[in-house]
């Protein structure tokens, strides 16, 4: 029985010493509080990009590449290039499966034949 008590005390001491010696251990009891509210995410929009506010509260970020006249669609998880394509009016960029149509200050994005971002206008602030 003495060995079990000794082992429990020893394990607690080793654990406490290990945690205390971890210089990179950054723990806050507040991080466990489920009622503190959602953490606000900062938006990361490249400096040379244009952000659009679309229907359904969606946001679309587009970088227009001046050297090649192409456009880059920038999503949080991925980005991809669209090349210029013929258009009856305005500008059109595509990669075969995704198409960005720009007409005046409105843009829309179509993916695999379905419009996924519609009635997009330049976002304010």
Whether the per-residue pLDDT at 88 is higher than 80: the answer is yes
> Which of the two residues, 124 and 38, has the higher pLDDT score?
124
User: What is the DSSP pairing of strand 70-74 with strand 79-85?
Assistant: antiparallel
Distance CA 10, CA 118 (A): 64
pTM score of the predicted model? 0.63
The percentage of residues in the chain with a pLDDT greater than 90, rounded to a whole number, is 50
Domain assignment present for 103: yes
Q: What is the CATH number of the domain that holds 64?
A: 2.40.128.200
pLDDT digits (tens, 9 = 90+) for 30-72: 656 555 655 555 556 778 899 999 999 999 999 999 888 999 9
Distance of CA 117 to the CA centre of its chain: 16
Domain assignment present for 41: no
Domain assignment present for 61: yes
User: What is the DSSP pairing of strand 79-85 with strand 91-94?
Assistant: antiparallel
Count how many domains the chain has: 2
Proportion of the chain in helix, strand, coil states, percent, rounded to 5: 20, 40, 40
- Phi and psi of 17, rounded to 5°? -65, -40
Task: Residue 9: give the domain boundaries.
Answer: 2-32
Shared domain for 65 and 113, answered yes or no, is yes
Domain assignment present for 15: yes
Domain assignment present for 39: no
Domain assignment present for 37: no
Shared domain for 12 and 66, answered yes or no, is no
List the beta bridge partners of residue 83. Answer: 94
Domain assignment present for 45: no
């Amino acid at each position: 029985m003495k060995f079990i008590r000794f082992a429990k005390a020893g394990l607690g001491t080793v654990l406490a010493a290990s945690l205390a010696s971890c210089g990179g251990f950054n723990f806050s009891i507040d991080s466990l509080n489920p009622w503190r509210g959602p953490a606000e995410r900062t938006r990361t929009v490249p400096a040379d990009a244009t952000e659009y506010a679309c229907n359904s509260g969606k946001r679309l970020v587009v970088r227009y590449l001046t050297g090649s006249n192409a456009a880059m669609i920038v999503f949080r998880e991925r980005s991809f290039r669209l090349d210029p394509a013929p258009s009856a009016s305005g500008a059109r960029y595509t990669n075969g499966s995704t198409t960005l149509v720009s007409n005046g200050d409105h843009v829309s994005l179509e993916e695999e034949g379905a419009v996924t971002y519609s009635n997009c206008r330049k976002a304010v602030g």
